[in-house]
Amino acid sequence: QVQLVESGGGLVQAGGSLRLSCAASGRTFSNHAMGWFRQAPGKEREFVAAISWSDVTYYTNSVKGRFSISRDNAKNTLYLQMSSLKPEDTAVYYCAAPGSANTPPQIMGAIRMAYWGQGTQVTVSS
């Protein structure tokens, strides 16, 4: 059974940093597209960042230059390094993976994901 487990969320002041982790089990996600999404209170879930099977990355405009997605294939773990955090980044953050390993990162926000984690809360205070 595939499991994605996020960790690393918490409360941080505006301008601070956090690193989220997503540990995968049940199958290997090395060389498989993966992404991060978030859902703020009262809003729909939105795409944040994605990484392709070949480590090409793609970001939504609001986080470009502040967030960085990466992976450690040996640990079967996905990361999201978040810096210069703003109150509007407050949300539950989810990692996810599509059914197709070679999904281009640019379309990750527009297709259905096959696997989801349970989410981790990030709260940025002003």
pLDDT at 30: 85
User: Quick one: CA torsion of 30, 50, 36, 82, rounded to 10 degrees?
Assistant: 100
CB 29 within 8 A of CB 48: no
pLDDT at 106: 95
pLDDT at 31: 85
Q: Residue 88 has what DSSP assignment?
A: G
pLDDT at 14: 98
pLDDT at 1: 86
Q: What number of other Cβ atoms are within 10 A of residue 111's Cβ?
A: 13
pLDDT at 89: 98
Tell me the one-letter amino acid at 77. T
Q: Residue 74 has what DSSP assignment?
A: T
Q: What number of other Cβ atoms are within 10 A of residue 88's Cβ?
A: 11
Low-confidence ranges of the chain (pLDDT < 50): none
